[in-house]
Structure 1
Amino acid sequence: MTLPQRVGVLGGGRMGAGIAHAFLLAGCEVTVVERDAQAEASARSRVLESVDRSLARGADGTRERFEAMLHTAVDVAAFAGCGLVVEAVPEDRALKVEALRRAESSLSSGAVLASNTSSISIDDLSSTLQRPRRFLGLHFFNPVPASALVEVVMGAATDPALETAACEWVAAIGKTPVVVRDAPGFASSRLGVALALEAIRMVEEGVAAPADIDTAMELGYRHPIGPLRTTDIVGLDVRLGIAEELRDKLGDRFEPPALLRRMVAEGRLGRKSGRGFYEWSEQ
């Protein structure tokens, strides 16, 4: 199945901009909807800056072409005519439910709605929608332009035919799909958070410094980036939210370490705040 000619992204933050970037470079007309005019302008700038970096690395196309293919708005009515809309608002259930309902109201009956959630149940989210058969998870990874993976999360109510379609779409934007059923943390978040939490406990216990823990995983297990640097890139607040979700669903083995809670309370969120387990102010 070919990519939809028009793709929508609800939310133009770091993740949403990255998702928009991926579909733009694949040749889709992309509409990004944000909450207000200021956020809309920031989202457009963010997407085009990402496009510029790809063009500098040799991507096909011109800045002018991608500018013309990128549309932004503050009203979900702009999604009319989109064959696929991906929700990419922050990882909060109530916020996602409200966003998904608004997006669905603007779509045709045949359009596909997807959530970029990294841990919230697809079945739970679909239960709030009018067309759960046309809904699934498309879990992209940060930073989207550099990431090669997308989790295709199939809910119990998802039309089985969407599995093939979604995998083909993911391949068409140059990434590799993995299909998982709806389960707490899916595959990647569950495993990634388990590793990160144990690494944070090791720092908390004074076992080793963050850089040494990361180097052990990078050189010993060939991880491209260690779990603590990855946590800084993802955001400590995001890691904390996912850990709490998994603890509620899977038990105390996902209880967040006190160090993680303290760092989030102090505003040490990782790269986006300039400081986490590493200093990012000059990177």
Structure 2
Amino acid sequence: MSARILSGKEIAEKIKQDVKKELEILKEKGIKPKLVAVQVGENPSSRVYLNAQKKSCEAMGIEHEVKNVNQDTTENELIQFIHTLNNDSSITGIILQLPLPQGIDVRKVQSNIAVEKDVEGVNPANLGWIVYGRPLLAPCTALAVKELIDSTGVDLYGKEVVMVGHSDIVGKPVSMLLVDKFATVSICHIGTSEKGMLETHVRMAEILIVAVGKAHLIKGDWVKEGSIVIDVGINKLGDKIVGDVEFDVAKERAWWITPVPGGVGPVTTAILLRNTIIAAKMLNRQ
């Protein structure tokens, strides 16, 4: 068999159309969403990403601004700057662009972003709401993974899900989102790999999600026949961009599989736009 390619572009377009409708309603009420991205220092790759983000926002009619902070800023100064943005009523969404300079506690700064302006869902309070089964503003990539799985029409109840990677913005929140739908979720990480058990777990997965950032970590012949494969990884291998899963072999075994690029990425961007609308509605009690 050959897998169906789970393209993120079509799903992203549908989300964007919904965002446009919501945006029109907000603008009729005089509400204008504005997203501010905070960048500390200069990072060329971050600049490329932020320019793409700005383009996506402006194409939808959402105002986007990048605030540059000096590389030598202290943690306290950065937190005070975040508080200034929190208190600015014209701003409805805040993004903290990573990486931050050494010596600054990322989690501490993220925890100071106002919960209702935290469009990336990185404030511990927003992560906590996922555990309660009531996600308000959840991490965009985690929501994108859930959106892609839902688009296949699969019933998650009792499904064997293997999540490879346990980051705060993908692995952990994805696991909680799926557990809330009564999926049976196993989380694999470096401990699983070092014990030689990664392949064993992957072979059991009816739904396999991989978010590690290591090219072709998951061999294609490990993939269970008829499974759904969501590859979050994006890596450079020679002159190619590849995922964490060995795509060419895996697609001959899976039922659905996301490509890299073109799978999770476009949906993540669309979810950011949707979160921006949700934040604007929360702030204005809509």
TM-score band w.r.t. shorter chain: 0.3 to 0.5
The higher-RCO structure (CA 8 Å, 6+ apart) is: 2
Q: TM-score when scaled to structure 2?
A: 0.34
Q: TM-score, normalised by structure 1?
A: 0.34
Question: Which structure features the higher share of helix residues?
Answer: 1
